[in-house]
Structure 1
């Protein structure tokens, strides 16, 4: 006949396992969302083979986007009277930026180290958020500190590069 102590230890083990599974799932979802949000831009900046690259001189800015003429730098790229780049703190009217054209459109994204770092900013935020879940829910403080450090490093590098 099982004793009350053995029964309560079994319940605690099941609850502990459930917490680890739940918090592990939440952590994985946060990190997957960060990669997913970053990859939409990062793929154009990192996988540049066969893509049009050049420069854009920002001539005007609206609420969400800026636009200007595109000057090609790569073979096979064509000049455009106007391309659109997402307006952010990194885009200033009157400045010229190196960019990559998104295939099949007149939308461009910044290229080079600044563009790569800026594209991965959502992952940096996800690392910071996931570190809190890892520390509190999984009780893995060292892993959480490493994740938080990586997130802060990524965000700081993007800030400095831009």
Structure 2
């Protein structure tokens, strides 16, 4: 019975980590430059509750766009320029650089924090849980400081 319980708790922790990693990878691959998309800068013109938008100027080849949008939380104030990579949709951008990469991995950081609670409370692997929790907290603090 103990083996089944530990197996189920390990599976829950693994599912949390995979879900957080999968969610983060959707934006992180563009922020880290793994996916070969257009890179350039956006001058933030306006922001609403969720997204900021502005004109896109490509680096090298590519076409300029009148308006692309990126997440408001990853955007600086209006009038500032930020380096971005375009997602496949073409009108959505992901911030690049250290701030963009850290912001993209925030869902994984949250998954690390949640999984650390399962690992500490259920599996009683306290050192592993501390490592996971501190790593998740460091990612969250790093993203908050970098933005």
TM-score (norm 2): 0.93
Paired residues for 1:8-157 under 5 Å: 15-48=1-34, 50-73=36-59, 75-88=60-73, 90-157=75-142
Q: What's the CA shift for 1:90? A: 4.1
Q: Which runs of 5+ in 2 are unaligned?
A: none
Range that drifts further, 84-93 or 30-39: 84-93
Q: Distance in 1 between matches of 2:143 and 2:67?
A: 27
Q: Which runs of 5+ in 1 are unaligned?
A: 1-14
Runs of 4+ in 1 over 4 A off after TM superposition: none
Q: What's the CA shift for 1:64? A: 1.9
RMSD of the alignment, in Å?
A: 1.4
Please state whether the residue corresponding to 1:88 is helix, strand or coil. helix
Q: Number of aligned residue pairs: give it.
A: 147
Q: What's the CA shift for 1:111? A: 0.4
Please state whether the residue corresponding to 1:23 is helix, strand or coil. helix
CA contact (8 A) 1:48 1:100 kept: no
Larger-Rg structure: 1
CA contact (8 A) 2:112 2:133 kept: yes
Q: What's the CA shift for 1:58? A: 0.9
